[in-house]
Chain A
Amino acid sequence: MRKRLTALALCSLPLFLAAQAPTDYSNYQQLSNRVQALSKSYSSYASSRSIARTAGSKDIWMITIGTGNTASKPGIAVIGGVEGNHLLGTELAIGFAENLLKGSNTDSIRQLLDKTTFYVFPNMSPDATEQYFGKLKYERQGNATPTDDDRDGKINEDAPDDLDGNGKITFMRVSSPVGDYKLHPDDDRVIVKADVAKGEKGAYLLYSEGIDNDKDDQFNEDGDGGVWFNRNFTFKHPSFTPGAGEFPVSEPEIRALLDNLYDLFNIYAVVSFSINNNLSTPFTYNAAAATQKIPTGYLEQDAKTNAMVSELYNKIVNQKDAPKTTPAGGDLLSWAYYHYGRYSFSTPGWWVPKAKPDTAKKEKALTLDDPVANYLRWAAQQGITNTFTPWKTIQHPDFPNQKVEVGGLDPFVLINPPYNLVPGIVQKHTAFLVALAGYQPTLEFVNIKTEKLGAGITRVTADIINKGALATSSKLGDRNYWNKRIQVRVSTTVSQSVVGGRKVQSLNTLEGYSTQTLSWLIKGSGKINIEAGCANTGTIKTDINL
């Protein structure tokens, strides 16, 4: 299998390079080709390797972009495929790598790559994303690990079924006096929850399209796959719920990602693409949540940093009305901040814009906010067709005497834009990532002073400044031993000695644009050398004449 893949990859490479930019989302093979093409075309800046194979025998690619000793420079991890139904996330990650490397013939990008290393993981859910390209198209998040989602001792015994044979899993609605759904008041294609608090009565039961294959009164509750990448992390792991895995970090691809990240002490920020969004709207400080023994809210300083980076994002990406999100637990965004101890940012990259009423069609503003109703308006204005399946009555074995209709909005379309919009979105996010790297912690020695105290003793004073907007580690990360501390070392010759101050010392976090003053008493003459730094700041050195 492996051999065949490599052969395939090799022979398709020249074809790909010659070909135009992709015109649709990439499947596993196409993505692998794009990864290989990058490390081939830009071998002095990029290398790629597979860090793991999934249960579905798919490689997880890691692309390292930088120059020289990449592990000694501050780094940003860029992660896509966080949710298997979010094809755009993979495009944003691989597209960022492609754009960045395309720019490597410019001075500005070359300088950037001399001081910053990027680690790009384009798709963490390749088993699941493949469903988009499959014969049966449905939004899948689980990998190919067999799981018993409903914990009844049987594996994958009740998958969705394509009842109307259109190759997509949409929805089915059952007319029922005990239904809890009703038609949208402005658009009868759309079905919405009846608001019992307002005395509304429902007329439909709503299910995903399928049959109760195992006759347990639940529909499609245990289909193919698997463990969800974005539910298998350690922070607030939703144990024993579908997709969470038997315990946190149970999957080989997640373990491999974490092992790689933990080994890379130089990484200071993780930027991921997922439904969670702290870039459009930053997390805010909540004293009660932040000061618990197990913090569940951002520390005050980190919330400020999030706000600063969010401002940068909104300035560059400039997309309004992002849906509000709250990380559900077991997710990458929370893990990277709370457990990995790094700055962590995530955005879906795109969402359906708020559609204005089409006055030509005499539309009025929606009386009831609903994402599907909004999408249908927006899609019509964009000339997008064929993403909605009209409701059609079918005979359903589980509802022999009831009216059952199959139809509704296509999978994927609410979070993955038409592909022609993708290059523009990728470009803006590339610009954001480049600008974020401009915020990275950067050390410099300033105000170096030597004062002779007589008798061969010199007082040496130096300020160490962080010229970057980001602190040398997040406030929470400062507590975490997976972050290194800045080490300051004074090197002396045999005839010199440090008689006051510490020859070797660790510094606490240096906030963005802040300074710390250090001083030593040195006995002897000639030159000493002072070195300061740690993995995620790089190391600086200076010689001082006594």
Chain B
Amino acid sequence: MKRITKYILFLFSLSITGALQAQKPEQIFKAAGSPPNPKVPISWNKYYDHAGISEICKKIAAAHPDLCKLESIGKSFKGRDLWCLTITDFKKGDANRKPAMYIDGNIHSNEVQGSEFALYTAWYLTESFADVLFIKELLADKVFYIVPTINPDARDNFFHEANSQHSPRSGLIPVDNDRDGLVDEDGYDDLDGDGNIVMMRRKNPNGRWKQDPIDPRKMIQAGPEEKGEYELLGPEGIDNDGDGLVNEDGYTFEYDPNRDWGWGWQPNYIQGGAYRYPFSIPENRAVMEFVMKHTNIAAAQSYHNSGGMILRGPGAAEDIGTYNAADTRIYDVIAKKGEELLPGYRYLVVYKDLYSAFGGELDWFYGGRGIYTFSNELWTSYLMFNKGNDADPSAPDPSYAFDRYLLFKDAFVPWHEYNHPQYGKIEIGGFKKNFGRMHPGFLLESDAHRNMSFSIFHCFQTPKLSVDSVMEKELGDGLKEITAIINNERIIPTHASQDEKYRIERPDLISISGPKVIAGMVMQNRDLNIGAEQKNNPQTIEVGNIPGQGYVTVRWIVQGAGKYTITVDSRKGGVVSRNF
């Protein structure tokens, strides 16, 4: 009872805020490509903590019951819900059998905007369904599983505790990083109490650093015959445990959740950041269990930051053999479209263009489940002035100018003095944690939309199967030969080569019901009558794969006339039936 009252109050307060925020519909003129009067008004120029995400998820699900279902796929280490939004046209077909695109964000705690990008996708799809025909058709065929954050504990920690833009990368399971038997005894210290861990510098005539004459906030190295003025002392902190090391065992890097996945996993001394064994991090375990249950997932995106990259595997040089030419071609087609849709983003391969790492999420999705997966590294300094890119080390760093002229120095903690218990008189300053890897507010919605458009293209290219055409031939004595062509009109096959090689998902089943089936075969060449007979259970022909933009041909010899139905049942390609 109490609950219901609470819910009514909640709805009531919603409608009030809605009334306060939204303009009247007649006051609004639609900008192309954006929902003008969304049922759930959300501003996309800010970031949301886990409670904020939870509220948005609940609002979207409540406002669009026929398009969105919300479930918790598990709990984080600290007991927060891992929300998953299932988005499809629930009135059309069985949601569990439509080819699916899985999207998550925030596996690395400080790489937060993937959550907003994922949420934006859910919001845009549900709010545009009524007006945009393409979206309506897409959601009839496909389903999106969107998990905005798979690391909510450390997301909240990043926002609400003192952190730098690089911390924490890890979740919050405590680890004794320096192997001294004590856990988290020497982490960062927010010396000036402003919630940002920035840099420490000290005036030192023997130091090798000086202020940049162009922008004195910036520290640059003194030239070869030049005297420096400062030494740099690292991120804010003190030697809490008296072992002569500063910040060597904190919560900020316990482990790396993206080294915890069950393909090519290696232990910590080979792959830094690995925890105990694959899926030993509870959040990843929940995702794994969800993916194992949803065998219709054919495509996936895992959002990271930063650098403006569209990444595919292999994650490790040792895993090159897993990606063969046929699959690489498919990755190439999708990602090259992504480069067009995402100015400043480059299509790269993790092991050779970034770093070689074992046990990443995209490695398991592809290597372990045969799912075509990208990781986009969101945000690039290209977006500051629409030029340059993060890969060019010789280009001047545009951050200081961007902060000065477009953010009016909102992103920087000015250098200020501090009396350090171990270093004495020092200065503290530097970019805040919300700058460097995160989008500034005014660019957030724009890049969220572009990245969403890439995922929509990716999802659109998952298999679309049809019983394309059927030929009948009388064989005499009441026997008939039925030949069916099963077509896949999109780029992604029902089984990636990795999937087909290891039979990760079962074969596609093409069955005929109605007449009595005497024999069944897969045809290599129907005109020359070359095929392979399937001796067992001939009414359901098993095929290893239905290629992208390709087809397979099956043939049955049946007895008796009359109506029949041909059904194609593919784990990643969906189910289609046609009556004859």
Residues of chain A having any CB pair with chain B under 8 Å: 148, 151-153, 214-216, 234, 237, 239-240, 246-250, 255, 258-259, 262, 265, 293-294, 338-339, 341, 476, 479-485, 487, 502-506, 534-535
**Alpha-carbon gap, A484 to B178, bound state (A):** 9
- Among residues of A, the one whose C-beta sits closest to the C-beta of B317 is A293
Q: A240-B502, A506-B178, A506-B179 are in contact. Are A480 and B267 (CB under 8 A)?
A: yes
Chain B residues with CB under 8 A of A293: 270, 318
Chain A residues with CB under 8 A of B280: 249, 255, 258-259
Instruction: Please give the distance in Å from B541's CB to the nearest CB on chain A.
Output: 13
- Among residues of B, the one whose C-beta sits closest to the C-beta of A265 is B181
Chain B residues with CB under 8 A of A258: 276-277, 280
- Among residues of A, the one whose C-beta sits closest to the C-beta of B271 is A294
B348-387: CB near A (< 8 Å → 1, else 0) gives 0000000000000000100010000000000000000000
Chain B residues with CB under 8 A of A239: 263, 368, 502
Q: A247-B368, A294-B318, A479-B269 are in contact. Are A484 and B502 (CB under 8 A)?
A: no
Is B278's CB under 8 angstroms from A485's CB?
Answer: no
Q: Is the CB of B223 closer than 8 A to any CB of chain A?
A: no
Is A151's CB under 8 angstroms from B502's CB?
Answer: yes
Is A504's CB under 8 angstroms from B242's CB?
Answer: yes
Is B504's CB under 8 angstroms from A240's CB?
Answer: yes
Is A234's CB under 8 angstroms from B267's CB?
Answer: yes
Is A481's CB under 8 angstroms from B177's CB?
Answer: yes
Given A247-B288, A506-B243, 8 more A-B residue pairs with CB atoms under 8 Å apart are A247-B368, A339-B267, A480-B267, A480-B269, A481-B176, A482-B268, A504-B180, A506-B180
The 7 sampled A-B contact pairs (Cβ below 8 Å) are A215-B537, A247-B262, A262-B276, A293-B270, A294-B318, A479-B269, A480-B267
**Alpha-carbon gap, A434 to B280, bound state (A):** 34
- Nearest first, the 7 closest Cβ-Cβ pairs linking A and B are A153-B506, A247-B262, A151-B503, A215-B536, A479-B269, A240-B502, A249-B277
- Among residues of A, the one whose C-beta sits closest to the C-beta of B292 is A246
Is A480's CB under 8 angstroms from B263's CB?
Answer: no
Chain A residues with CB under 8 A of B288: 247
Q: Is the CB of B76 closer than 8 A to any CB of chain A?
A: no
At the interface, is chain B mostly helix, strand, loop or mixed?
A: loop
- Among residues of A, the one whose C-beta sits closest to the C-beta of B359 is A234
Interface size class of B (residues with CB under 8 A): 35 or more
Is B503's CB under 8 angstroms from A152's CB?
Answer: yes
B268-293: CB near A (< 8 Å → 1, else 0) gives 11100000111110000000100010
B504-545: CB near A (< 8 Å → 1, else 0) gives 101101000000000000000000000000011100001000
Instruction: Please give the distance in Å from B237's CB to the nearest CB on chain A.
Output: 17
Set B278, B318, B509: member contacting A249, Cβ < 8 A:
B278
Q: Which of B262, B277, B292 has the most CB of A within 10 A?
A: B277
- Among residues of B, the one whose C-beta sits closest to the C-beta of A153 is B506
Chain B residues with CB under 8 A of A153: 506-507, 509, 542
Q: Which chain B residues in 161-198 approach chain A with CB under 8 Å?
A: 175-181
Instruction: Please give the distance in Å from B522's CB to the nearest CB on chain A.
Output: 15
Set A152, A214, A247, A476: member contacting B278, Cβ < 8 A:
A247
Set B180, B368, B502: member contacting A487, Cβ < 8 A:
B180
Set B177, B268, B504: member contacting A480, Cβ < 8 A:
B268
- Among residues of B, the one whose C-beta sits closest to the C-beta of A479 is B269
Chain A residues with CB under 8 A of B276: 258-259, 262, 482
Chain B residues with CB under 8 A of A502: 243-244
Is A248's CB under 8 angstroms from B179's CB?
Answer: no
Instruction: Please give the distance in Å from A290's CB to the nearest CB on chain B.
Output: 13
**Alpha-carbon gap, A126 to B176, bound state (A):** 34
Instruction: Please give the distance in Å from A406's CB to the nearest CB on chain B.
Output: 24
**Alpha-carbon gap, A482 to B267, bound state (A):** 10
Chain B residues with CB under 8 A of A151: 502-504, 506
Is B181's CB under 8 angstroms from A484's CB?
Answer: yes
- Among residues of B, the one whose C-beta sits closest to the C-beta of A216 is B536
Is A485's CB under 8 angstroms from B262's CB?
Answer: no
Instruction: Please give the distance in Å from A332's CB to the nearest CB on chain B.
Output: 13
At the interface, is chain A mostly helix, strand, loop or mixed?
A: loop
Set B277, B318, B368, B503: member contacting A234, Cβ < 8 A:
B277
Chain B residues with CB under 8 A of A506: 178-180, 243
Is B241's CB under 8 angstroms from A504's CB?
Answer: yes
Instruction: Please give the distance in Å from B340's CB to the nearest CB on chain A.
Output: 36
Is A294's CB under 8 angstroms from B266's CB?
Answer: yes
Chain A residues with CB under 8 A of B535: 215
- Among residues of B, the one whose C-beta sits closest to the C-beta of A504 is B243
Is A481's CB under 8 angstroms from B179's CB?
Answer: yes
**Alpha-carbon gap, A250 to B279, bound state (A):** 9
Chain A residues with CB under 8 A of B277: 234, 248-249, 255, 258, 339
B481-521: CB near A (< 8 Å → 1, else 0) gives 00000000000000000000011101101000000000000
Instruction: Please give the distance in Å from A505's CB to the nearest CB on chain B.
Output: 7
Chain B residues with CB under 8 A of A476: 269
Is B263's CB under 8 angstroms from A247's CB?
Answer: yes
Instruction: Please give the distance in Å from A283's CB to the nearest CB on chain B.
Output: 19
Is B242's CB under 8 angstroms from A487's CB?
Answer: no
Q: Is the CB of B303 closer than 8 A to any CB of chain A?
A: no
**Alpha-carbon gap, A239 to B266, bound state (A):** 14
Set B179, B265, B503: member contacting A485, Cβ < 8 A:
B179
Instruction: Please give the distance in Å from A499's CB to the nearest CB on chain B.
Output: 14
Chain A residues with CB under 8 A of B267: 234, 338-339, 341, 480
**Alpha-carbon gap, A504 to B179, bound state (A):** 13
- Among residues of A, the one whose C-beta sits closest to the C-beta of B508 is A153
Instruction: Please give the distance in Å from B308's CB to the nearest CB on chain A.
Output: 29
**Alpha-carbon gap, A502 to B288, bound state (A):** 46
Instruction: Please give the distance in Å from B372's CB to the nearest CB on chain A.
Output: 19
Chain A residues with CB under 8 A of B175: 481
**Alpha-carbon gap, A189 to B179, bound state (A):** 59
**Alpha-carbon gap, A255 to B277, bound state (A):** 8
Instruction: Please give the distance in Å from B424's CB to the nearest CB on chain A.
Output: 19
Instruction: Please give the distance in Å from A535's CB to the nearest CB on chain B.
Output: 7
Chain B residues with CB under 8 A of A214: 536
Chain B residues with CB under 8 A of A152: 503, 506-507, 542
Q: Which chain B residues in 554-574 approach chain A with CB under 8 Å?
A: none
Instruction: Please give the distance in Å from B368's CB to the nearest CB on chain A.
Output: 6
Chain A residues with CB under 8 A of B241: 504
**Alpha-carbon gap, A240 to B503, bound state (A):** 8
Chain A residues with CB under 8 A of B536: 214-216
Chain B residues with CB under 8 A of A504: 180, 241-244
Chain A residues with CB under 8 A of B268: 480-482
Chain B residues with CB under 8 A of A250: 262
**Alpha-carbon gap, A341 to B269, bound state (A):** 10
Q: A234-B265, A479-B269 are in contact. Are A484 and B180 (CB under 8 A)?
A: yes
**Alpha-carbon gap, A214 to B177, bound state (A):** 53
Chain B residues with CB under 8 A of A534: 181
- Among residues of B, the one whose C-beta sits closest to the C-beta of A151 is B503
- Among residues of B, the one whose C-beta sits closest to the C-beta of A248 is B278
Chain A residues with CB under 8 A of B504: 151, 240
B248-270: CB near A (< 8 Å → 1, else 0) gives 00000000000000110111111
Q: A258-B276, A259-B276, A485-B179 are in contact. Are A505 and B243 (CB under 8 A)?
A: yes
Chain B residues with CB under 8 A of A216: 536
- Among residues of A, the one whose C-beta sits closest to the C-beta of B179 is A485
Chain A residues with CB under 8 A of B242: 503-504
- Among residues of B, the one whose C-beta sits closest to the C-beta of A240 is B502
Instruction: Please give the distance in Å from A233's CB to the nearest CB on chain B.
Output: 8
Is B181's CB under 8 angstroms from A246's CB?
Answer: no
Chain B residues with CB under 8 A of A237: 265
Q: Which of B180, B535, B537 has the most CB of A within 10 A?
A: B180
Q: Which chain B residues in 397-425 approach chain A with CB under 8 Å?
A: none
Chain A residues with CB under 8 A of B178: 506
Chain B residues with CB under 8 A of A503: 242-243
- Among residues of B, the one whose C-beta sits closest to the C-beta of A250 is B262
Q: A216-B536, A480-B268, A483-B179 are in contact. Are A247 and B244 (CB under 8 A)?
A: no
Instruction: Please give the distance in Å from A243's CB to the nearest CB on chain B.
Output: 15
**Alpha-carbon gap, A504 to B536, bound state (A):** 72
Instruction: Please give the distance in Å from B53's CB to the nearest CB on chain A.
Output: 29
